[in-house]
Structure formats: C-alpha cells, structure tokens
Structure 1
Amino acid sequence: MRSALLLSICLSVSCVLIVDSSLAGGPENCAERRLEILRQIDRADAANNAYRQMGLEQALANVERYCREPAVDEEQKGAIKQAEAEVRRRQNHLKAARQYGDVKVIKKHEARLERAEARLLRLTNE
C-alpha cells in the first residue's frame, strides 16, 4: 500500500515536471519533445530513479502516439480541401453528363467521381 502511494506520488511529480517543462518554452516539434524526454529518461536511469523513468516512458509513448507536426497537419488539411473540391467538380461533371444522356459518358464520369470520393475518404482516414 505504501509503495503504491509512493509510486502514484512519483508519477504525479513526473507528469507535473514534464508538463511544466513543455509549457516553459520547451521543445517546439515532436522530434525535440522525444529527444528531451529521452534525455530525461537517461538521467533518471543514471540516478536509479525507476519511478521517474516509468513516468517518462509513459510520456514518451504519449508523444509518439499523439504528437503531430503542425506543418504536416496543414498539408493534410490542404490536401483534404483539394480532394473535396475535386469531388464537387466531379459531381458537377456527372450532373452535366446525365443531362446530356449518353450512357458511356455517364459511366465514365461516375467512375471518376468514385475515384475522387475514394481519395477523399483515404485522406480523411489518415
């Protein structure tokens, strides 16, 4: 019971220190965050601080799981906008083809619309 309390206190302190260092002009991108946490893990290992090391390893796992580069997010948003515009354009082409009435042209535009929708779906699922 006492060791569980000590473990929870150490993990809480580790999380506070990690959050504090990230708010105080800390690393700006994911690679810098990973590197800083790895340095702290090495220091905790050298000091035989197993509880801090466990907390830092959890923080590293969270960074690797959730951290995204802002530039990558902006590129992704741009690609999604472009794919949405392509879907709208293909829908308009299909509508015009249906008004024209040629089955061959309609099928061609339906296939193009399906490809554009598949691309949009793929981008939104990434």
Structure 2
Amino acid sequence: MVYGIGTDICDIRRIAAVLARRGDRFAEKVLGPTELKVFHYRRAKVEARGVAYLATRFSAKESFSKAIGLGLHTPMQWRDCETLNEPSGKPFIRLHGALADWFAARDLSAHVSLTDETDYATSFVVVETRTP
C-alpha cells in the first residue's frame, strides 16, 4: 500500500552557483558518506557530471522527505538519506541513524527514479508499507 509520493525538480545551474560560492561545504552538508565519495570521483573526471550528480541527489532527498511526510524535520536529515546505485545502475535509497530506525519501525520501503538533463534534475519517490 502506498504510504506517500514525492517529486522534485532541481535547477542544476543553481547547484553550480552554490558550489561556486561555498565550495564543497554544500556537498558535505547534503551528501551522505558514500554519495560524497561518488561526487568527488565524478567531479574530478568531469565537473559537470559531479554537479549533476549532486543535483540529482539533492532532488531525491527532497522527494523522499515529501514521500514520508516529514519534510526536512527530525528524524529526516540530509546525510542520513543516501541515493546510491545498484551495479546495474538502478538507484536505491539507503538510510542511516534515527531515520533508518523510524523508517523500519513503520515497515516501509522506498522506490526512487532520477533523471537529469543539461539544466535540470528531477526525482520521483514512492514509499509503501511492506505489510497490508
């Protein structure tokens, strides 16, 4: 059964401007530990790929927070919600800390879809209950 749905669109140019002003502090505030490693790797190869990666992850966190109905309020913390990829490329959500405990206590599962183009990144998250 569907618990919640969230969607978001993010202007990649806005993320690039924040990175230009604040440097990596913004990425370090938003990305979880594994996401941060991927961000640095992609950005080192091609700046635009790193920025697009950050934008898709920022968008996914916004969508996830909407789908669970908490917004960005405790236990939802930026770094405790990571969107990673299976070896096949399929994205999935990994939770940490109090957010993971909150999510598990409600027996929820999440599905995420991401996409980006030159100027925009979008995400869509469906959270459902595992038990009827």
TM range (shorter): under 0.3
Structure having the larger proportion of residues in helix: 1
- Work out which structure has the larger RCO, using CA pairs closer than 8 Å and 6 or more positions apart in sequence: 2
Q: Which has the larger radius of gyration?
A: 1
Structure having the larger proportion of residues in strand: 2
* Normalised TM-score (structure 2): 0.23
